[in-house]
A and B are shown apart, each in its own frame.
Chain A
Amino acid sequence: MGALAYSLEQALLSLWRGRGASLLSIATITLALFVLGAFLLVTLNVQRLVGAWRGSAELSIYLQDEATPAERTAVEHLLDASPFVAAHDYVSKSQAEKRFAALFPDLAGLSGEPAGNPFPASIEVRLRSGPGTEGAVDALAGRLRAAAGVSDVRYDRRWIDRLVTLAGIVGAVGLLLVTVLSVAGALSVAIVVRLALFARRDEVEIMRLVGAPLSYIRGPFVTEGLLHGGVGALIAIGLLLAGLVAVRAEYGLAVQAALGLAPIWLLPLRLCGLVVVGGMVVGGIGGLVAAWSSR
C-alpha cells in the first residue's frame, strides 16, 4: 500500500513536471485508442444494423401493377410450401406509398405525381436461417422470378452477407492499424518515461543505495506509464463521444431514416472500460520497459 501511494504521488508529480513530453505520449495513445474506439463503434453499429435487417424482410417480391389477385395467391402458395419461409406480409401500393411518406416526409410530395402512385405492391418474406438456407432460397427466388405477375425479386441476405464481409475487412484493417498505433503509443510512453528516469537518475541511484525496495524505485515509472495510457484512453472516449454527438446532430435523422435504425450507439460502458484498461496496459508496458532499465 505504501509503495502504491508513493508511486502514485511521484508519478503525478513527474507527469506535471514533464507535462510537455507527457502530452506527446498521451496524444499518441489517444490517437491509437480513438481509432480503436471508432472501429469498435462502426463494427458494433454495423452488427446491430445487420441484426436488425436480418430480423426483418430478407426476401422482397415486387409485383407488377397489373398482377391479378390469383397471381398473387399463386406466389403466396409457393412461399407457404417452402420450409425456409418463416412469415410473409403483403404490402399494397398504397401502404408502400404511406411508408415512403413516413420515412421521407420532405419527399412525400413527389409521390403525388400526376402519373399516380409509383410504388409497386410487394410481398416481404422473413426467412428461417439454418444449414442449406442460402441454396434453397436461391432456388426459391429463381422460381418466384419466373412466376406470373412478379416484376422483381430481391434477396437481401446476399448483400447483408457482403456487408458483413466488408465489416470484417474493415475490422481487420482497424485491428492492424490499432496494433501499429498501440506499439507506437507504448514506445512513446517508454521514451517519455525514460526521459523522466534520466532526469531523476541521481535520485534513483540514491534510492537504490539506501535500500529502497524495487517497488519504490520502479513503481513510480510504471505508474506514470499507466497514467499516460489511462488519461489517453479517457480523452479518446471523450473525443469519440463528442464526435458521435456532432454526427448525430448533423446526420442522425437521415441515417436513422435511411437505414431504419434507432439512434447510433456509443460504445457500451463495459467496452469503454476495456478501452481504458487497454490504454493503461499499453502505457504500463511502456513504463515497465523504461523502468526495467533502472536495474
Chain B
Amino acid sequence: MDRVIETHRLSKVYRRGVYALRDVSLQIDKGEFVFLTGPSGAGKSTLLRLLLCEERPSDGRLTVSGRNLDELRPREVQAYRRTIGFVFQDFKLIPRMTVLENVSFVLRVLGLSSVQQRRRTFQVLKWVGLQHRMNAYPQDLSGGEQQRIAIARALVNDPALVLADEPTGNLDPDLSLEIMNLFREINARGTTVLVATHDRELIRQVGRRAISLDQGHVTEVM
C-alpha cells in the first residue's frame, strides 16, 4: 500500500512550552478514509494546519506522499497546497466572487484556459448539486450549500488527498450526513480523505477508521 501521510514522533510546541501535539506517529495509506477525532484542544486542527503547511513542526517528521513538509520553501508550499484539497469549517469562500469564480479560481491559478475552467467547474458543481447556483454569491447561499461549494473547490483540481477540518461543525445533523456522503463518494473514487471532527455519532454512522487524539497524544486507533 502507498503511504500518503506519515508522521514520526511529530510534536508542536507553542509558546510557554504548551504542547499541541506530542510524539504523534501515524500512517494513512492511499485510498483510505480516516477520521481524526478528539475533544476541543486535542490537537486535531494543529495536525491539519501542519499538513497544510500553515505551521511548521517543532520536532519529528511529517511527510505527505514522501515529501518532508518541513523542508518546503514558500514557493514549494504554494505548489504543494495546489496538490491537495482542503475544506474549512467556516467554508472560506471569497464573498465578492460568484460560486463559479470561487471554484474556478483554483483552476485559473493552475493556468487552465477559461473554457476548461468553466467545463471542469460546471462538472464539479453538478456533482455537488449546485450547478444552478453558479452565478450566486456565497452570502446568498445556506450553510450547507456554502460547504458543498467549498468541497467543490477542494475537488476541482482532482487532488489525491482531501483534508477537512470540522466540515460539519456549522451544520445540522441531516446536512452533516449529506456532506459526509459527499466525502464517501470522493473516497470511493480513490481519493484519500482525512476528516477532523469531534462528532462521534457521525463517525459511527459513516463507519470508517478513526484516530483519537487527546492533549496532543494519539490515544486510540479504531
- A102 to B167, alpha carbons, bound, how many Å? 90
Knowing A2-B108, A6-B108, A203-B94, the reply to whether A210 touches B74 (Cβ < 8 A) is no
- A213 to B96, alpha carbons, bound, how many Å? 20
Instruction: Determine if B54 and A210 form an interchain contact, defined as CB atoms under 8 angstroms apart.
Output: no
Task: Kindly provide the distance from the CB of B32 to the nearest chain A CB, expressed in whole angstroms.
Answer: 23
- CB nearest to B86 among chain A residues: A209
Residues of chain B within 8 A of A211, CB atoms compared: 78-84, 106, 109
- A209 to B87, alpha carbons, bound, how many Å? 10
Knowing A214-B74, A214-B75, A214-B78, the reply to whether A209 touches B92 (Cβ < 8 A) is yes
- A47 to B158, alpha carbons, bound, how many Å? 66
- CB nearest to A295 among chain B residues: B74
Knowing A203-B94, A206-B92, A208-B78, the reply to whether A213 touches B109 (Cβ < 8 A) is yes
Instruction: Determine if A210 and B86 form an interchain contact, defined as CB atoms under 8 angstroms apart.
Output: yes
Task: Kindly provide the distance from the CB of B138 to the nearest chain A CB, expressed in whole angstroms.
Answer: 11
Residue B111 is within 8 A (CB to CB) of chain A in the complex: yes
Residues of chain A within 8 A of B111, CB atoms compared: 2
Residue A212 is within 8 A (CB to CB) of chain B in the complex: yes
Question: Which A1-38 residues have a C-beta within 8 angstroms of B?
Answer: 2-3, 6
Instruction: Determine if B153 and A210 form an interchain contact, defined as CB atoms under 8 angstroms apart.
Output: yes
Q: Which of A202, A203, A205, A210 contacts B106 (CB 8 A)?
A: A210
Residues of chain A within 8 A of B108, CB atoms compared: 2, 6
- A206 to B102, alpha carbons, bound, how many Å? 10
- CB nearest to A215 among chain B residues: B109
- A214 to B79, alpha carbons, bound, how many Å? 10
Knowing A203-B94, A214-B74, the reply to whether A209 touches B81 (Cβ < 8 A) is yes
Instruction: Determine if A210 and B105 form an interchain contact, defined as CB atoms under 8 angstroms apart.
Output: yes
Q: Which of A2, A202, A205, A212 contacts B78 (CB 8 A)?
A: A212
- A208 to B78, alpha carbons, bound, how many Å? 7
- CB nearest to A210 among chain B residues: B106
Instruction: Determine if A212 and B109 form an interchain contact, defined as CB atoms under 8 angstroms apart.
Output: yes
Residues of chain A within 8 A of B74, CB atoms compared: 214, 295
Instruction: Determine if B86 and A216 form an interchain contact, defined as CB atoms under 8 angstroms apart.
Output: no
- CB nearest to B113 among chain A residues: A2
Residue B177 is within 8 A (CB to CB) of chain A in the complex: no
Question: Which A179-224 residues have a C-beta within 8 angstroms of B?
Answer: 202-203, 205-214, 216
Q: Which of A6, A207, A209, A214 is the most central at the interface, judged by chain B CB atoms within 10 Å of its CB?
A: A209
- CB nearest to A205 among chain B residues: B92
Residue B52 is within 8 A (CB to CB) of chain A in the complex: yes
Residues of chain A within 8 A of B96, CB atoms compared: 203
Chain B 161-178 per-residue mask, 1 if CB under 8 angstroms from chain A, else 0: 000000000000000000
Instruction: Determine if B94 and A206 form an interchain contact, defined as CB atoms under 8 angstroms apart.
Output: yes
Question: Which B69-116 residues have a C-beta within 8 angstroms of A?
Answer: 74-75, 78-84, 86, 88, 92-94, 96, 105-106, 108-109, 111
Task: Kindly provide the distance from the CB of B85 to the nearest chain A CB, expressed in whole angstroms.
Answer: 9
- A206 to B83, alpha carbons, bound, how many Å? 15
Residues of chain A within 8 A of B86, CB atoms compared: 209-210
Instruction: Determine if B52 and A209 form an interchain contact, defined as CB atoms under 8 angstroms apart.
Output: yes
- A203 to B111, alpha carbons, bound, how many Å? 20
Task: Kindly provide the distance from the CB of B45 to the nearest chain A CB, expressed in whole angstroms.
Answer: 13
Task: Kindly provide the distance from the CB of B89 to the nearest chain A CB, expressed in whole angstroms.
Answer: 13
Residues of chain A within 8 A of B79, CB atoms compared: 211, 213
Residues of chain B within 8 A of A6, CB atoms compared: 108-109
Residues of chain A within 8 A of B93, CB atoms compared: 206
Task: Kindly provide the distance from the CB of B156 to the nearest chain A CB, expressed in whole angstroms.
Answer: 10
- A130 to B93, alpha carbons, bound, how many Å? 75
List of 3 A-B pairs having minimum Cβ-Cβ separation, nearest first: A211-B81, A211-B82, A212-B109
Interface residues of B (CB under 8 A from A): 52, 54, 74-75, 78-84, 86, 88, 92-94, 96, 105-106, 108-109, 111, 153
Given contact pairs A202-B92, A206-B94, A210-B109, enumerate 20 new A-B contacts (beta carbons under 8 Å): A2-B108, A202-B94, A203-B94, A206-B93, A209-B52, A209-B81, A209-B88, A209-B92, A210-B82, A210-B105, A210-B106, A211-B78, A211-B79, A211-B81, A211-B106, A211-B109, A213-B75, A213-B109, A214-B74, A216-B109
29 contacts between A and B (CB under 8 A): A2-B109, A2-B111, A6-B108, A6-B109, A202-B92, A202-B94, A203-B96, A206-B93, A206-B94, A207-B105, A208-B78, A209-B81, A209-B86, A209-B92, A210-B81, A210-B86, A210-B109, A210-B153, A211-B80, A211-B82, A211-B83, A212-B105, A212-B109, A213-B79, A213-B109, A214-B74, A214-B78, A216-B109, A295-B74
